[in-house]
Amino acid sequence: MKIHYRQFIKIDDILMEIKELDLDTDEKKSCLELIDDIFYHKMLEKILSELKNEEDKIVFLRKAVSEPVEEAVEFLREKVASFEEKVSGDLNGLRGEIIEDLRALRRI
């Protein structure tokens, strides 16, 4: 999918928390990949939950994988009021949870 969650949220603080973990480079890379996957799936879940009918969900998914990202985003703007704010809100909540979890790992 061409839409990336980093269009909606900054994760610099998460990157700093990962850097502080007592892990080797490969483990840190794996950790970041897992976090990327979690954010990506949360974004997709939120977008699909905001699209009210199955046809719109199918159209969005087709646009998201095959067309320029701007067309998929424009489709969402037409179908979902304030979609960027809704996605950002969910992702920011998740960001806070991930930061708490990473900090807890450092204390172990």
Tens-place pLDDT, residues 59-83: 999 999 887 888 999 999 999 999 9
Task: Supply the range of the domain harboring residue 74.
Answer: 8-107
The per-residue pLDDT for 21 is 95
Residue 58 has pLDDT above 70, yes or no: yes
In a domain, 96, yes or no: yes
| Residue 23, domain member (yes or no) | yes
Query: What pLDDT does 69 receive?
Result: 85
Percent above pLDDT 90 for the chain: 82
Determine the average pLDDT of the residues in 40-53.
96
Q: List all residues 6 or more positions away from 17 whose beta carbon is below 8 Å from its beta carbon.
A: 99, 102, 103, 106
CA angle 87, 49, 65 (to 5 degrees): 75
Please give the model's pTM, rounded to 2 decimal places.
0.89
**1 assigned to some structural domain:** no
In a domain, 21, yes or no: yes
pLDDT band (50, 70, 90) for residue 27: very high
The domain tally of the chain equals: 1
In a domain, 2, yes or no: no
Asked if residue 52 is part of any domain, the answer here is yes
Residue 45 lies in a domain: yes
**In 3-state terms, what secondary structure has residue 106?**
helix
